[in-house]
Amino acid sequence: MLMRSTLVTRFRRDQYAQKGKALAPSRLSRGCFNASVEYALFAVLVIGVAIIAASRPDVRGVERRQAVIERKLDLVMRHLGIVEETPAMPDVVDHLRAGKKINAIKAYRQRTGVGLAEAKFAVEQLARQLGL
């Protein structure tokens, strides 16, 4: 099967031959060169996408491993009797004293960057410590 650029080149050559003119070699090869460049660029694009897709880390796997490590660290700290001090968060305490538990959790998450469940647990523990 002939490629499109080869057919175009033959058509051009036939047109020039009918007019009695010779077609310059550069004009003959230009159509093939463009197709070759297009195929090469497409191949580079496909290979680039494949490399990027293969090099992307599995984010979910990393998060799972991190959660396992944190759980183990918590067990070790609990076994050794090490208590992590909670940072002073007056805005969280103010929200708790005002009875706004959801706002306290939001403020805690903004301060620490932890997830919702972890922030809820920490705020509830803080509320118990304060007797609220």
Which tokens in the block code for residue 72?
């183990």
What is the reported pLDDT for 3?
Answer: 54
> What pTM was computed for the model?
0.37
Which residues, at least 6 apart from 87, have a Cβ–Cβ distance to it below 8 Å?
A: 111, 112
Q: Is the dihedral of CA 64, 65, 68, 70 positive or negative?
A: negative
What is the reported pLDDT for 69?
Answer: 92
In the Cβ-directed half-sphere of 30, how many Cα atoms lie within 13 Å?
Answer: 7
What is the reported pLDDT for 18?
Answer: 66
What is the reported pLDDT for 86?
Answer: 60
Q: How many helices (H) and strands (E) does the chain have?
A: 6, 0
pLDDT tens over the chain, length 132 residues: 445 556 556 666 666 666 665 555 554 455 555 677 788 888 899 998 888 877 776 667 778 888 899 999 989 988 998 877 766 688 888 898 898 999 999 998 888 888 888 889 888 888 888 787
